[in-house]
Amino acid sequence: MDETLVLVTGGTGFIAQHCMLALLNSGYRLRTTVRSLEREAEVRQQLRNGGVEAGKRLSFVAADLGADQGWAAAVAGCRFVLHGASPTPSGDQVREQDWVQPAVDGNLRVLRAARDAGVRRVVLTSAFGAVGMGHGRRERPFNESDWSNLNGNIAPYQKSKTLAERAAWAFIEAEGGGMELAAINPTAVLGPALGADYSHSIRLIKNMLDGQPGCPRINSCFVDVRDVADLHLLAMVHPAASGQRFLATSGDSAWLVDVARLLRQRLGHAADKVSTRVIPDWFIRLGALRNPAMKSIRSMLGVNMNASNEKARRLLGWTPRTRDEAILACAESLIKLGLLATSAPPPAGR
C-alpha cells in the first residue's frame, strides 16, 4: 500500500476518473478538484461503476482553473499532480481567445501552485490536438517531435491545447524550480464509460449506435482510456519520463467507416442502427457553411491521422490494448449503462 498523496485535477472528467481508478487500485491516496463540491457524490458513484469504493482515500477540494482560490489547498502535501482539467467554453463563447487564454492560464496556475508546494512531478494531460493538426496530408505517422501547425487550418480547441502545452514546457524551463513535467497526448479516447458524463470521442461511437446517417471520411487513431490512465501512472513515476511527451495511441489509425463495420460485425442487434454508408466530402463542405460541427471536421476530410506509440512502448514499457478492444469496450459500456437513444429508427442505405 503506497500512502503517497496524488492530486488529480478535474475529477469529473472521463480520463481523470480512470486515472483515479488506476491510482486507487495501486494503493495511492488521492485528492481531486471539482468546480463545485456538489458533484462529489456523482464522482464517487462513477468510481463505484468502475469497481472501486474510494472511501477516505479520496478527498475533494473546490477549485476553478479561472481563479487562484483553492489551488494551494489542492496541492498541499502532494508528491505528484496529474493535471487533466481544462476549461471548456460554452454558450456564446465562440471566439478563439475564449478557448486559448483560459487554457494557457489554467495550466500555469496549476504549475505555479504545484511548484510552490514542492511537488516532484506534474503529468499534464495534453492532446493529439497539440501534435497532429494543421499539417494537411502527410506520409509518415505523427510522433512526439511534432507540434500542431498554428498557421494551418486548426480549430480553436486544438490551438488552445497546443499553446497551453507549449506554455507549460516554457514555464518548467524558466520558472519550474526543479519540478519535473511529463505530457501525455492521447488520440481519440474510448474504452468504458463510467456514466453519462463522457468524452467527445465516446460521442462518436454513441452517434453511430444511435443511427447517425453515415460516416464522414475521417481517419483517427484510438486508445482505451484504461491504457491512457496506465500511461499517466508510468509517466508519474518512471525516471525516463521526466521532460518527455508521450503519444497515447493503441496503434494504426482507422477510418470511421471501418469503426462502423466493426460495430456491426461484433455487436449483433445492438448495432442494427449503425450505418456503414460513407458521407461524400462535398456534402460535409456544403453543410459546413451553416453547421459548426461540420465546419470543425472539414479540414480533416481524407487526411491520414496515423500516430506512433513507439516512444511510450520503448521508454516506459507501455502495452496498450488493441484499437478494436477500445472501440468495443466503449460500445458495450454505452449499452450496459443505458446511454443509447431508443427511439431513432435504423438508418437507410447501409
How do residues 307-342 score in pLDDT, each as one tens digit? 999 999 999 999 999 999 999 999 999 999 999 986
CA 347 – CA 76 distance, rounded (Å) = 53
- Show the domains of the chain with their CATH numbers: 5-192+222-250+306-321 (3.40.50.720)
Statement: residue 16 has pLDDT above 60: yes
* Of the candidate ranges 96-105, 127-136, 213-222, the one whose mean pLDDT is the lowest: 96-105
Average pLDDT over residues 14-39: 97
pLDDT at 345: 46
Instruction: Enter the C-alpha cell of residue 170.
Output: 516554457
CA 108 – CA 10 distance, rounded (Å) = 15
pLDDT at 137: 76
pLDDT at 323: 97
Confidence of residue 211 (pLDDT cuts 50, 70, 90): very high
Q: Provide, rounded to the nearest whole percent, the portion of the chain with pLDDT above 70.
A: 95
CA 116 – CA 309 distance, rounded (Å) = 33
pLDDT at 88: 66
Statement: residue 198 has pLDDT above 80: no
Q: What is the DSSP string of 98-116?
A: HHHHHHHHHHHHHHHHHHH
H helix runs in the chain, sequence order: 14-25, 40-49, 71-75, 96-116, 156-175, 200-209, 225-237, 256-267, 281-287, 292-297, 310-316, 323-336
Residue type, 288: A
Confidence of residue 93 (pLDDT cuts 50, 70, 90): low
The secondary structure element, H or E, covering residue 36 is none
Statement: residue 12 has pLDDT above 90: yes
Confidence of residue 15 (pLDDT cuts 50, 70, 90): very high
Statement: residue 347 has pLDDT above 80: no
What's the length of the chain? Answer: 350
Cα-based torsion angle of the residue sequence 265, 267, 268, 272 in order, rounded to the nearest 10 degrees = -90
Name which of 13, 28, 15, 1 is nearest 237 in CA terms: 28
pLDDT at 138: 77
For CA atoms 282, 130, 26, 55, give the dihedral sign. negative
How do residues 160-179 score in pLDDT, each as one tens digit? 999 999 999 999 999 999 99
| SS3 (DSSP) at 268 | helix
Instruction: Enter the C-alpha cell of residue 73.
Output: 489547498
Give 223: exposed, middle or buried? Use CB within 10 Å, 0-12, 13-18, 19+. Answer: buried
Average pLDDT over residues 100-118: 96
How do residues 244-276 score in pLDDT, each as one tens digit? 999 999 999 999 999 999 999 999 999 999 999
Q: What is the DSSP string of 221-257?
A: -EEEHHHHHHHHHHHHH-GGGTT-EEEE--SS-EEHH
Active site residues: 161
pLDDT at 290: 85
pLDDT at 94: 60
Statement: residue 21 has pLDDT above 50: yes
Statement: residue 300 has pLDDT above 90: no
pLDDT at 90: 55
